[in-house]
Structure 1
C-alpha cells in the first residue's frame, strides 16, 4: 500500500524530488505525460549539484513553460511503498503569472483545469500533494 506522509524537515541530502502544485488564473496547471492520457503535477528529480528549489524551478519551467511565477515551499513529503523504503521530496506551491506558451495554446503537454481531472498519473499520491499545497 502506498502511503504519503507530510513532514516539517528532513536532511537536505534525502530530498530527491520536487513537486510544484501550480495555478494560473485560478486554474490548476498540470503536465500530460508523453504518449499517455495521464496528468501530473510539474516537478522532477533532483540533479547532481542542484539545490531542491532549483529542481522545483527547473521542473516548473521545463514542464509548463512558466516564464514568471511566485513559488513558495509548503513542506517535505515522503512516499512509502508498503514495508519498503520511502522517498522524500519537497512540495511547493506556485502562482504562475506568465507562460512562454500559455496552457492549451499550442503545448499538448500542458493543460489547465477548473477542477482536477480523474486521470492523474499517480492517483494514490498526486491528489494528496495537491490537497496539501492547494
Structure 2
C-alpha cells in the first residue's frame, strides 16, 4: 500500500495520506510503503486542490488480487477512505450507511438553480448543491 501526493507541504493532506496507508495496510496485513511524492503523475499535478492517489494493490501481486475480489474487503477499503476523509475535513460521521437524497427542482436557467440553492441554504439546508446534467 502506498499513497502518492504532488507535494508534502500540506500537513492535513500528509496526515490523511499516512492514515490511509496505515489503515489499508492493516486491512490486508500488507506492507505499508508510505507516502511518496511525484510531480509527474497527471492525476495529481492537474488538479486545483490538494490530491492523493492511493495504490491498494499491485497487479503483479496474486494474493492481493484475490483479496480484492472479496466484496467485504472492498467495502473495508472504502470505509477506511471515508473515515480518513471525515477526519481530514473535520466532518461528523453519519450513524447509518443509508442516505436519502431530495431533489427540489430542475432548471434550464442556471441562475434559477443558484437562487433555489440560496433559498435552501437560508432555511438551514447547508449541504445543498447543484448537479449539472449534460
Range class of TM-score, shorter chain: under 0.3
Greater RCO, CA 8 A, separation 6+: 1
Could you state the TM-score of these two structures normalised by the residue count of structure 2?
A: 0.28
TM-score by length of 1: 0.28
Higher helix share: 2
Larger radius of gyration: 2
Higher normalized strand content (fraction of residues): 1
